[in-house]
Amino acid sequence: MTGPARSLPSAWISGIGLLGPGLRDWPGGATILAGEAPWVPANTVLSAPQQLPAAERRRSVRVVKLALTVGLEAVAAAGADASSLATVFTSSGGDGHNCHLICEALASDDRQVSPTRFHNSVHNAAAGYWGIATGATAPAAVLCAFDGSFAAGLLEALVQVSVERVPSLLIAYDADYPEPLRAARPVPDAFGTALLLTPEPGATNFGRVRAGLTTAAADTLADPALDALRRAIPAARSLPLLAAIARGESGWIVLDYLDHARVAVDFTA
């Protein structure tokens, strides 16, 4: 890891959200990640949160439903006010199904793209829907770092908390692509997680994290099936950290990031 450990950006985890294949929420997912229950593969079930107005619920696409669900779960777990939180949204590529439908329209004789399809195609769509659902007016950063998007988002959120001394809600999410796009980008299903990071421990406290860069190899999961999920969906690269939190196991966790560098996370339960 580069630099002295005392200079690493750090934060407390006050809330967690989770939704993915066979992982319905954080309490149930934590039981699985702690090894107390088996992981049973099942397709991710997505629904638009009721906090959205009816029109926006109808227009919301898969990544919007996913991001809002995990973000709201983390906020509720912490008993926080979503409208006041700075946010960091991070995704490897936005909504694959929406992209597929736009490509279909452009390949047709009509070539007319729906305005709803267009506004859901921009990378900050989930952040916009979050503002509508929660009334949030605090800064929102929206990142993309391909398969390293979770690690990039974590570093961004930790720096925000460390420098600005305000809470930051990290929301990482990825969803599947239909064929023929899946042949080029084989993300099989939707997975999202959210961490509410705070400068001081809150009433609900899942531990403390600090992070920096390393050249060490990324950690894997003991369960081969769960590790396959980690490799298959970029946002699921968060699973080794979530597993350590679920087990209450302090120590260093190395997460995938770039080809030449990973992110080392020091977790203190």
- CA-angle at 170, arms to 168 and 172, nearest 5°: 170
pLDDT of the chain along its 269 residues, tens only? 544 455 899 999 999 999 999 999 999 999 999 999 999 999 999 999 999 999 999 999 999 999 999 999 999 999 999 999 999 999 999 898 888 888 888 888 888 888 888 788 888 999 999 999 999 999 999 999 999 999 999 999 999 999 999 999 999 999 999 999 999 999 999 999 999 999 999 889 999 999 999 999 999 999 999 999 999 999 999 999 999 999 999 999 999 999 999 999 999 99
Is 0.85 topped by the overall pTM? Answer: yes
Q: How many other CB atoms sit within 10 Å of the CB of residue 182?
A: 14
